Chain A
Amino acid sequence: MSDTQPVLEVTDLQKRFAVPRGVLGALRGAPRRSVRAIDGVSFTLGHGEVLALVGESGCGKTTTGRTILRLEQATSGEVLFEGKDVLKAGGRQMKALRRDMQIVFQDPYASLDPRITVGESVAEGLLIHGIGTPKDRQERVREVLAKVGLHSSQVNRFPHEFSGGQRQRIGIARALIMEPKLIVCDEPVSALDVSIQSQVLNLLKNLQREFGLTYLFIAHNLSVVEHISDRVGVMYLGKMVELSSREDLFREPLHPYTKALISAIPNPDPTARRERIVLQGDVPSPINPPSGCRFHPRCWIAREVCREQEPAFEEKRKGHWAACHFAGQF
């Protein structure tokens, strides 16, 4: 496998959810409407790379992760995993692909079956794919649990006996045991206490280094992303508005939305002077997104052209993409 081939190539991915009209709506002849959860997202992800997707709630970042793993059916677009078309894969092919693509969910409480012991939960992937003998599997479970900082004597406990942070470690162990090539981390720390967040983040980071894992790391908070990612993609209303290396993004954001997000990161130094950009209004409805640039109603540098023309997602600097008519001009 050459290093030049990306692990994941996503091209113009779209996902729409139909909005139910209801019986009355259908009788009245109301138009069929849909929520454009993802509206043309493209990116690539190389081996051993961590790409973070950030944005407010409802911007489509979680749906992007789920659509890539085909937990949601994409409306259109293409997802290539090591050159294999994920969205068109048949049953057996898809099962093989699922072995290499894992997900860690946001909610560590809901993602564990309350009736199944932790050991069984962690071993489940191996069992489904028929890997190893029962004895091998037990051995692997113990190894992986140790890797994520749990004790192997805890394998026969049930999920309700663990804390949130421990459960998230179990979630990570379940992904890790498959030796995946890609892990989609869907806001893995946002349901945890702040004190636990850093522990789990450090664990993810260490595992990534140790095993050379590739993460698609979804978060709604740039401060979380700052520590773990190589590149960052910022999403707004189903579209990617900026994509660049982490250094470039934090040093010189090109999109006003990114700048606003960065200004919202809490600064532990109380004497530091900083300019805080507070966005006005709420995220507009994705059923009926604004014309032109989707960010223009909340943007402080918006001009006439932003209302009328949708900015293209272009490479403004080397390796630094943005979708803004006035990129970096603030």
Chain B
Amino acid sequence: MNDPVPSVPPKAPRWALWLPLVLFGGFVVLVLFGLLRPAEREVRSKMIGKPMPEFSLQPAVADRPGFARADMATGQPRLLNIFASWCIPCAVEAPQLLALKQAGVQIDGVAIRDQREDVEAFLARHGNPFARIGADNVSAIQFAIGSSGVPESFVIDGKGVIRYQHIGEIRPEHVPVILEKMKEAGR
């Protein structure tokens, strides 16, 4: 047999036959990792350690002023709380915010996509721990500081630098953590 046709493809080398198994092994290791350490689904802010960006918010209620970037750099650390009257977890975290205020924490609130009378009713019912409350009807401040939901809380140090982000409602066990972060930010 004199066949002029060259062979294509050539016989695969032995090691190549094991390649699929090796790739599959890599896949298994990868997904095992994913299964064992359930991924953090929250989108964390990348603004930690960076100064607050420029912003300026109108007051959300009659008896508290709004605020702007300049108001955040007062030499004292502050807690910035993103909340809304329509958000149930925000009501859940209200007692913890009051406790933080009792402990001497200065808290500024931003009411997201909210109406004045609703915010006032919310504060009347759940207490008002806020020194200032700004209104943000288009979530603009969230995009600026990397917040993706309500409620979220940010520790801002005296120079106006974002130091810590807490995602979701503040539960009683989180209060000491936040106080610690406030203390660190005050140093």
- Same complex for A and B? Answer no
